[in-house]
Amino acid sequence: MIKYIAVADAFANQYVGGAELTTKALLDLKEGQVLKINSHILTEDFIDKNHDKIWIFFNFANLKDNIMIKLAKTVNYSIVEYDYKFCKYRSPDIHKLRDGNQCDCMSQGISSKIKSLFYGYAKKIWFMSEIQRDVFLENVISIKKNNVEVLSSVFSKGDLRFINSISENEKDSNYLILNSSSWIKGTEKCIEFAKSKNLQYELVGNLKYHELLIKMSTSKGLIFKPLGGDTCPRIVIEAKLLGCEILINKNVQHKDEEWFSTKESCEEYLLKNADKFWSWYE
């Protein structure tokens, strides 16, 4: 029986990114109870037919303004926030780089008011890091402080078992650098850093998920220095669990959180955070 409606711009069978893997890890635990729908095809008629369900919004950049208004008026919903969708660039850092000023998106036009309404009426907003949560509370005044909680990235128990099974693999002398076209991931800066420190490095990209994990398990470390705030990059967590040396910067926003301090505390937290999420709904 369908109990939940899950809305996202893309699901893991459509695009494999860190956000989509977290979404999958959560939704797989409620298989048979969840109806998934892409944000861009959501209609008012669909909302009316499913107004009695519990709605969960993951990435929703493609959600139309009239649909957000309808949802705020009609349904019980919560949000899992992966980045900074109050900003037109989904990143205050990119906003400042491109426009030359601090992000002021929440004071610009009717669409910003509708987005503020949508955040404000959410029964719960789950964030990826404490820093991300605080940035939202500073910029989106409609959000109620008692309705927010930090969740972080979520891993399935199967993926955690797989990671644990390869964590003792013999490591070579390479540091991995994510080969990404996304400005915020800072690939070129990571390469410059590796060269300046005379570190042996290898670019990785276009690998299937478990192939990437195996590659990481045999590598000395990870260089990941994003150019702007990255809320809870999954690849950094994977590197920690696999015993890699992690060379990161302050833009990895979960890096100083207590659960991430050791490999053991990281694994313990990740074994429980999906249950923490669903216990709130039950």
- Pair 87, 163 in one domain: no
Nearest 10 degrees: Cα torsion 186, 255, 273, 243 = 80
Residue 80 has what pLDDT? 98
Rounded to two decimals, what is the model's pTM?
0.95
**Among all chains, which residue has been given the structure tokens 């959501």?**
42
Check: CB of residue 80 under 8 Å from CB of residue 151.
yes
Give the mean model confidence (pLDDT) for residues 83-100.
Answer: 93
Residue 47 has what pLDDT? 98
Check: CB of residue 194 under 8 Å from CB of residue 221.
no
- Pair 185, 228 in one domain: yes
- Pair 22, 115 in one domain: yes
- Pair 129, 163 in one domain: no
Spatial distance between the Cα atoms of 73 and 120, rounded to a whole number of angstroms:
12
Q: Is the pLDDT of residue 199 over 90?
A: yes
Beta-sheet strand order (sheet of 245-248): 201-204, 175-178, 221-224, 245-248
Give the mean model confidence (pLDDT) for residues 44-62.
Answer: 97
Spatial distance between the Cα atoms of 215 and 169, rounded to a whole number of angstroms:
10
Look at residue 10 and tell me if it is in a domain: yes
Spatial distance between the Cα atoms of 144 and 272, rounded to a whole number of angstroms:
25
Last residue of one domain, picked from the residues 110, 129, 151: 151
Q: Write out the two tokens for 74.
A: 């009609």
Last residue of one domain, picked from the residues 151, 166, 187: 151
- Pair 147, 161 in one domain: no
Rounded to 5°, the CA angle 59-113-106 comes to: 75
- Domain extent, residue 57, equals 4-151
Residue 226 has what pLDDT? 96
Check: CB of residue 228 under 8 Å from CB of residue 93.
yes
Give the mean model confidence (pLDDT) for residues 102-108.
Answer: 91
- Pair 177, 193 in one domain: yes
- Pair 25, 147 in one domain: yes
Look at residue 275 and tell me if it is in a domain: no
Residue 232 has what pLDDT? 97
Work out the pLDDT band at 228, boundaries 50, 70, 90: very high
Give the mean model confidence (pLDDT) for residues 7-11.
Answer: 98
Spatial distance between the Cα atoms of 224 and 176, rounded to a whole number of angstroms:
9
- Pair 131, 180 in one domain: no
Q: At 234, which CATH number?
A: 3.40.50
Say how many domains are in the chain: 2
Residue 206 has what pLDDT? 87
Q: Is the pLDDT of residue 268 over 90?
A: yes
Give the mean model confidence (pLDDT) for residues 228-254.
Answer: 97
Look at residue 251 and tell me if it is in a domain: yes
Which secondary-structure segment (H or E) carries 240? helix 234-241
Give the mean model confidence (pLDDT) for residues 259-282.
Answer: 96
Q: Is 16 exposed, middle or buried (0-12, 13-18, 19+ CB in 10 A)?
A: middle
- Pair 113, 39 in one domain: yes
Look at residue 76 and tell me if it is in a domain: yes
